[in-house]
Chain A
Amino acid sequence: MKKIKKYSRREVLRTSASITSVLTIGAGFPSILKAENNIKVGIPTILSGRVAQLGISVTNAIKMAVNNFNNAGGLDGRNIELIIRDSRAKPDEAARVCRNFINSDKVDVILNAEASGASFAVQEVIRESGTLCLHTVSETSSLTADPSIRAWNAFRFSRIGIHDAVGSAKYAAEIAKEKGLKTWMSVNPDYAYGRDSDDTFFWALKKFSPGFEIKGKGWPKIFQPDYTEVITQIARAKPDAIYTSLWGGDLVSFIDQALLYGIFKNTELFAINLADYTTMSAVRNLPKGLHSATRYVAAWPNTQDNRDYDKSYTDIYGDHPTNWSWEASVGIDYLINALKETRSTDTKKLAEAIKGKTRKSFMGVGDGNTVSIRDRDQTIVDYSIGWGTTISNEPYMTGIQGADWNTIKELENEWLTDKGWL
């Protein structure tokens, strides 16, 4: 009779570990080798951690447009296939994910939905590979404003710090004049975007309302949970107004904690990133009268197209779109239009079809509700920038005033000349 060998627990564990590693190694390669005939769009983004909402709302918006395109027959029967990967907000991982998209997945287009740091890494990868890239999240001005960083095959569909800064400063200057606000403090996240926002806001404020005094600047770390130190600094300095570019959960924590100290009773808050549904609904008791730019609200621009966009998104996902959603929606709209126009996935042809193009958009405030991709720096202009004050319930914003794009462009040129970039 054959003797049956008995396996010990240790041997079983060893064998399973070996099988796991062999399977892992074996299964890794097929993902590298697969190839299909769709129009492939690679999306590096953040899907984990505290800002996962960024990746979720971007990909929701893109899926909404792509499903419509594919259901309508695609491009001569070719569908758009989205390949979405999490970079965990790490620049080198974003670069690796991007190289994999280009080299292994053979994507035709990179739709970059990374925050600022990783966007610069993506820019270097696509500069070398020559792949078409649409930036839809990063707001740091230099990505497209600085000619040494700009790339012929990269287009920006996200807001730019300098545009927002001019719009914000104009509004803030008017409120300052009306309410006699003379002293300021700023609370900005200590990374590229926060510093950029602080510099450009006060630079622009000087143009509209010179003679103010800055009583201090707070630089909390990004994703910092406790703002007591900054709040005590504000309580001591007692400024008339505060400017902040904190965003998402950081802004929610800052406002919630500042409310406990009654900071906003005698101080006006200008929070550029407050008016986004996910942020406003997260503040425990959103007070009346905080000033914010309209990141994305269905109430601004006050058009049927915008309300329709909000409704379509909300019907599918059960939640309102975010600022990142509209940016991605405009980006994918330009791409789909370029694909239809050129009937090709050739980077040069697509780039030519996007460059300098004006299109009707639910976020457009140009002639006939349009936005444009400016020829000079391949950057979106004429998108809606509004400022208003908060109210506790939907639509969350009131008294919204639209920014004047002629003023924005004029001061942007002055700023670019100062920087030596024009």
Chain B
Amino acid sequence: MLFLNKDNFQRDVFLGLLVWLILIMFYFIFPDPGIHDIIQKVFILGLFAMSLNILIGYLGLIAFGHAAFFASGAYTLGLFLQSDFVSNLASFSIPVAMLLAVLVSGILATLIGAICIRLKDIYFSFLTLAFQMLIYSIILALVNITGGDQGLMGGFPKPPFLGINLGKPFDFYAFTIFISIITIVILRQIIESPFGYGLRMIRDNSERPAALGFSNQKHKLIAFIIAGSIAGLAGSLQALLDVGAYPEWAFWSKSAEPLFMILLGGMHSFLGPLMGALIFEILNDFVTANTRYYGLVLGLVILCFVLGLKKGLLDWILIKFNRK
């Protein structure tokens, strides 16, 4: 057990692998594909929400345009897999497409972030929203490349790589969760590093770190790039799941989804957004299966959290637990 306390990274890797193995067992204990579908979606949306929480929870910057990076990841992967490169790269197509999705989203985040981080508060929020709507309009306008409002059509191949065939439900399930857990472990290292504590300092009092010689702008930009890249990765996984990409993923309402997840799960605990994604996804499944009044039910649940708990569920649980 000493191993668990010695090194945070080793502990996180160990816990990550343990969760992954438990979820693999869960796949066989509950063979219902509907449950597997929800778990996959929870991890994909969880990554999306956790990436946004780098900006909201740790940096105190509320970005309204985060879906731009989610969509850029999805479209990059989809367009790459529909291109002729696939026949040349064969089995390495999917890993290369995913790396490209992260890279393109990262570059986009660098360009957008370099401008946005110069502003604060509501101005920052609205500028991110403006850039997102620009990306959305570009997707709609480039009909010949993106398929316009119909999205990427005709599907794309999923050539097997390293013995993993993403066309098979189990392989896709195990792969999606594995990639998500690895990303979460890396993200935790970043958040717990001096860089991560620097972000918290900027959030709490931006003048103090500046006085200590910190470059606030540099920290903000790096955080923005990391958040955009992870959102791009989440988008690429979603595109693999849906075998397509849609302009709605770049619309402002898509950016509201991770915000809801953060509100539901909690922004001050590392895994809060992931728990928010779980609540959001189960709620979505339950409400759409039983009533047409999706917005009303979602609104009421969020009201319960905001007025009742005054924080996300995981934040509330952790505070309650620590008190005892």
Contacts and interface: CB of A to CB of B under 8 A. Distances in A.
Given A86-B292, A92-B242, A103 B308 contact: no
Counting chain A CB atoms within 10 Å of each CB, the highest count among B167, B248, B249 belongs to B248
A14 interface: yes
Contacts of A29: 35, 282
B313 A32 contact: no
Given A24-B301, A32-B34, A90-B248, A121 B283 contact: no
Contact of A100 (B34, B148, B155, B246): B34
Contact of A24 (B32, B33, B242, B283): B283
B37 A28 contact: no
B244 A124 contact: yes
Counting chain B CB atoms within 10 Å of each CB, the highest count among A103, A105, A123 belongs to A103
A148 B154 contact: yes
Interface in A141-189: 142, 146, 148-149
A14 B306 CA distance: 10
Contact of B151 (A18, A99, A121, A195): A121
Contacts of A27: 286
B38 interface: yes
Interface string A1-40: 0000000000001101110110011011101110000000
Nearest to A147: B154
B290 A31 contact: yes
A285 B41 CA distance: 50
Nearest to A52: B292
Interface string B240-262: 00111010110000000000000
A311 interface: no
Given A124-B155, A127-B155, A142-B153, A14 B308 contact: yes
B150 A117 contact: yes
Given A121-B151, A124-B155, A140-B150, A31 B285 contact: yes
Nearest to A91: B246
Given A17-B304, A124-B155, A103 B150 contact: no
Contacts of A117: 149-151, 246
A308 to B, nearest CB: 31
B305 interface: yes
A95 interface: yes
A95 B238 CA distance: 11
Contacts of A374: none
Interface string A104-124: 110000000000110011011
Given A21-B313, A100-B37, A124-B242, A16 B150 contact: no
Interface in B36-63: 36-38, 41
A96 interface: yes
A421 interface: no
A104 B33 contact: yes
B283 A91 contact: no
Nearest to A104: B34
A96 B292 contact: no
A97 B294 CA distance: 13
A140 B246 CA distance: 17
A17 B286 contact: no
Contacts of B289: 31, 85, 100
Contacts of A93: 288
Contacts of A24: 279, 282-283, 286, 301
A177 B147 CA distance: 37
A124 B242 CA distance: 7
A418 interface: no
A103 B34 contact: yes
Counting chain A CB atoms within 10 Å of each CB, the highest count among B238, B290, B292, B301 belongs to B292
Contacts of A17: 304-305, 307-309
A369 to B, nearest CB: 34
Interface of B: 32-38, 41, 143, 147-151, 153-155, 167, 238, 242-244, 246, 248-249, 278-279, 282-286, 288-290, 292, 294, 301, 304-305, 307-309, 313, 316
Interface of A: 13-14, 16-18, 20-21, 24-25, 27-29, 31-33, 47-48, 85-86, 88, 90-93, 95-97, 99-100, 102-105, 116-117, 120-121, 123-125, 127-128, 140, 142, 146, 148-149, 191-192, 195
6 contacts: A13-B308, A85-B289, A100-B285, A127-B155, A128-B243, A149-B153
